[in-house]
Structure 1
Amino acid sequence: MMSNCMGVTGMFGKRETAVVVLRDADAIAESIRAALADASEAERPGLERAAALVAAAAEGGDAELRARWVRRRLADAGYEGELDAVAAVKSLRQAEPGLSLVAAVQLTKEAAAR
């Protein structure tokens, strides 16, 4: 899971936005395993599928997580173009108004590379 952007002030007083990556897949996986222990036969296939989806989502590193977040934010904003285009940067900044230009460029480039 990725959090929303948080504003931080740099050493020169310029406001930058940091994108904080939060991983809670372990806690979710543990909850699903606990549910599986007490699951009925009817519930088991759905929980097993959920466990597989959580495991797959947890496999990627931070860069992959950020790339998925960028794609999702752009899709939610209705953007359908190339990820490394100026229009993608503009759409991402409109979707996340606190995101700096530098951060938006970096995030879209990173997403395009994945």
Structure 2
Amino acid sequence: MSMFQKPQPLAVLVVRDAPDVVAGLRRALESATDAERPGLERALALAEDSAARPDAELRGRWVRQRLAAAGHEGPVDSVAAIKILRRAEPGLTLLQAVTYAKEAEAVEA
């Protein structure tokens, strides 16, 4: 990116409610019966894992979901994939679409 270009804001926002879910599961675990405890502990572990995932990984998942919905089976960073992403999210700039596709490719590697 040139120093004369304004940085582009992210068009795909990652909404994270996992910390709230983790907190709720921890509260539920405090008062859980012995029968409820194993399921809540497993749910808590899954929620903590989800909360720890980086935003780039979540955007990569978004890319793969959009491409799958469009029936695209080729590389996620191909020209065809970039076109699909920009159709799926009309406000997405070319630079953003390429960046997200590269993130998705890196997550798959």
TM-score tier after normalising by the smaller chain length: 0.7 to 0.9
Q: Please tell me whether residue 74 in structure 1 is matched to residue 59 in structure 2.
A: no
4+ residue stretches of structure 1 with deviation over 4 A?
none
Structure with bigger strand share is: 1
SS of residue in 2 equivalent to 1:51: helix
**Identity level (%):** 56
What is the total number of aligned residue pairs between the two structures?
102
1:25 equivalent in structure 2:
18
Deviation at 1:17, TM superposition (A): 6.0
1:31-76 CA-to-partner distances (Å, cap 9, x unmatched) read 1111222233333332222211111112222222222222233233
1:58 and 2:51 matched: yes
Using the size of structure 2 for normalisation, the TM-score is: 0.73
Q: Please name the residue that 1:95 is paired with.
A: 88
C-alpha RMSD of the superposition: 2.5
Long gaps (5+) in structure 2: none
Whole-angstrom distance in 2 between the partners of 1:63 and 1:41? 38
TM-score, with normalisation over the residues of structure 1?
0.70
Which residue in the other structure is 2:29 paired with? 36
Q: Which ranges in structure 1 are unaligned for 5 or more consecutive residues?
A: 1-9
